[in-house]
Chain A
Amino acid sequence: MANDPPIVIETRNLTKRFKDVDAVNSLNLKIRKGEIYGFLGPNGAGKSTTIKMIMGLIHPTAGAAFVNGRRVSGGAADIRNAIGFLPERISFYNNLTPVQTLSFFCELRRADKCVVPSLIEDVGLSEAANRKVGTFSKGMTQLLGVAQAMIGNPSVFILDEPMGGLDAMWVKMVRDKLKTLNEQGATIIFSSHILSEVQSLCHRVAIVDRGRLVAEDTIENISSGLHLRPRLSIRSPGLKGKVPDWVRKVEGVEDAEADGDTLLITCAGDARLSVMTALQKGGLVVKDFRTVEPSLEEAFVKLLSDEEAA
């Protein structure tokens, strides 16, 4: 479409083969300006390998990655001027303090070093500003990594498992940070194998498994494409994880599951009321009920098992 925002990152038939394993297999992705793009898949799906190829850290066996229309290659170092990058399991120089570390990276990006104290404060590391990075916990190093990625106000952020290893409080901080950056116009690509991280944050997601693209779309479209439907969640004390036989025979009930004292019923949206009435008539104790939207977790599991079957 003519009015779509421009493509910022693109991969064309991107392939990486390690010995006899296809880590990434003919991957075609398009990420547009201003998107928060989730890159999902189980561990070992090829997420990190793909990101590393976009960053020019790993050389593709075939295909290519493009940043702002320019092909990623050894000579084109300046295309990385636009990118803030957080690698998976980030590590810095142990003998430097955060101030020295960020000053070094400011120099490499030709950014003014006066932003260093505010970057450190931004991620809550002010108290450790003059401690050696070697003494940092995994989480603190990760936070310094987030600060590092923001040097020079890049327009694209590529983050490999940005919330990995962080406490809940810091996960929230990073999420809020990503949202703010996106509101200011930045394009954000981040990978995760924890779906709840992605669900409320991403405009679009790509799901990869064993190096192949399984789906690339909005979460709603992926869910509806899979015919995942909202479910009724009914709290019924005394259920103890068992679905009474008769429940499945109630008209309109397509599937029923029990989780502790919670009964989960899949049925068409317009059948919910009749199903509820029938259940109550049948003698089910209903303490409380609500509808549950399909989660990405379900979409994910279903997509991967469909892929396995195919």
Chain B
Amino acid sequence: MHIALRPIYTIAKKELSDNVRNKWIVAMVAIFLTLTIASSFMAGRGQVGEMGATVGALMSISSMLVPVISIMLGYGAISGEVESGALSVVLSYPVRRVEILLGKYLGLGAVICISILVGFGVSGLIIALTTGTAQWGAYIAFILLTMLLGMLYLSLSMCFSSVLKRRVTSLAAGVLVFFLGLILGMIMMGAWMATGGSLEAIMTGDTSGIPDWFWFEVFVSPQDGNGAAAMLAFGTTEFLGFDMALPPWITLGTLALAQLIWTIVPLALACFFFQRRDI
């Protein structure tokens, strides 16, 4: 399939400048910056905390906030513009649908990535200057993983936006998948308890009895997978609120791969459905 770069760039630029104009991007940078500094103070008990501890505190919030922001940005991208009629005009120009979709994805993705990079980057710099730079590599990995989480949920919400007729249903589908990812850990934990798992074993840090299918959860729930990857990057072992060692086959590499698949497959599906859609 032939794809032209010019229209992708034009559409991406429009999406990005829309979000610069309406100050969304500024608000997001401010939120990320405040959150990181607040987490750092929380982790450091009133003083600037270390990077690893900061990320531990930050992650529980950012792993919810970033998907929500992505869903908000992406849910109306196609269905909203079909509903308003604006897309009919754009599609009457010499632009392919794939180019429109990719342009929107990259433009909105840039909004997410820039705000994460600036928000987390500046606060990371502040922390590094106060507490030292020992964990800077892991912190960069955390920033990259957060961006990936943002791109992942953007891909999911744009997929729903391409498939579903209405703006409202696209939003609902995005929110539903977000909550499924959020509670999957609990469901799996419940399933394990029901099949003979023991809470006490986990509390005491004995993870030998946990079956492999339980751990598969981190490849299914994007939030948990992302969190587990950040943990591995920092070398901590807290997971789902418990201290547990991950089995050896769960590595930063396999987790990142799963997250990439979660990003690429919905985007490919979005292209597929958008091509076939009647506008």
Contact = CB atoms under 8 A, between A and B. Distances in A.
B10 interface: yes
Contacts of B99: 77
A79 B91 CA distance: 12
B275 A74 contact: yes
Interface in B55-104: 84-86, 88-97, 99
Given A59-B276, A107-B10, A95 B18 contact: yes
Contacts of B278: 52, 57-59
A145 B89 contact: yes
Interface in B209-254: none
Contacts of B11: 108
A70 interface: no
A90 interface: yes
B10 A148 contact: no
B18 A57 contact: no
Contact of B86 (A78, A92, A107): A92
A131 to B, nearest CB: 15
Contact of B88 (A79, A87, A95): A87
Nearest to A144: B89
Contacts of A105: 89, 93
Interface in B17-35: 18, 21-22
Count class of interface residues, chain A:
20 to 34
A41 B1 CA distance: 38
B85 A90 contact: yes
Nearest to A78: B94
B96 A75 contact: yes
Nearest to B83: A91
B86 A93 contact: yes
Contacts of B6: 110
B197 interface: no
Given A90-B85, A91-B84, A91-B86, A52 B279 contact: yes
Nearest to B91: A57
Interface in A139-172: 145, 148
Interface in A57-77: 57-59, 74-75, 77
B14 interface: yes
Interface string A76-89: 01111101010101
B95 A108 contact: yes
Interface of B: 1-2, 6-7, 10-11, 14, 18, 21-22, 84-86, 88-97, 99, 275-276, 278-279
28 contacts: A52-B278, A55-B91, A56-B91, A57-B88, A59-B276, A77-B94, A79-B94, A83-B92, A85-B92, A89-B85, A90-B85, A90-B88, A90-B89, A92-B89, A93-B18, A93-B86, A95-B18, A104-B10, A104-B14, A105-B89, A105-B93, A107-B10, A108-B7, A108-B93, A108-B95, A109-B94, A110-B6, A148-B89
Interface of A: 52, 55-59, 74-75, 77-81, 83, 85, 87, 89-93, 95, 104-105, 107-110, 145, 148
Given A74-B97, A91-B85, A109-B94, 10 more contacts: A56-B91, A57-B92, A74-B275, A75-B1, A79-B94, A85-B92, A105-B93, A107-B10, A108-B7, A148-B89
